[in-house]
Amino acid sequence: MTISVGDKLPNTTFVKATDNGPEATDSDTFFKGRRVALFAVPGAFTPTCSAKHLPGFIEKQDELKSKGIDEVACTSVNDPFVMGAWSKSSGAEGITMLADGNGEFAEAIGLTMDGSKFGLGKRSQRYSMVVNDGVVEQLNVEAPGEFKVSTAEHMLGNL
């Protein structure tokens, strides 16, 4: 079952990539009591993710915060070391990187994809969502191969 607007996020584990190394957290704790703009990419360092998706949220994070977003976060089925390296190489200061290394979160919300033909295995679909105190307020899931509705610009237009 795919998560929908109005649903509470399931409690799963993330590992935040921080300057001090990996830091485990769970989704209940991370999203509690605040409004988070979360976007998911199939993989760190992949072409669309690196050239468009992450840069769009880096560029628009202040505008998102001016519309009531407390934090902007990116998740991917990658390990926290890869997410940390991607953050540093992309200049993603201010974006929280949430590693979903085992795909537990993507699976729990029903937004996985099979990237096996590209050597990627099971990954997260590309999407963005606004989560308000653990509840999905806005959800923008891309069609396969598309990059339209999960952008920071699209999210801003719907806030």
β-pair type (95-99, 71-76): parallel
Of 15, 17, 40, 49, which one is the catalytic site residue?
49
Q: Cα–Cα distance between 4 and 98 in angstroms, integer? A: 21
Beta carbons within 8 Å of 139's beta carbon, 6+ residues apart: 3, 4, 5, 127, 128, 129
Cα 32–Cα 86–Cα 156 angle in degrees, nearest 5 = 50
Closest CA to 54 of 151, 144, 129: 151
Q: Which residue spans within 56-124 are E strands per DSSP?
A: 71-76, 95-99, 112-114, 122-124
Name the burial class of residue 91, with classes exposed (0-12), middle (13-18) and buried (19+) by CB atoms within 10 angstroms of its CB: exposed
Identify whether 49 is a catalytic site residue. Answer: yes
- Catalytic sites, residue numbers: 49
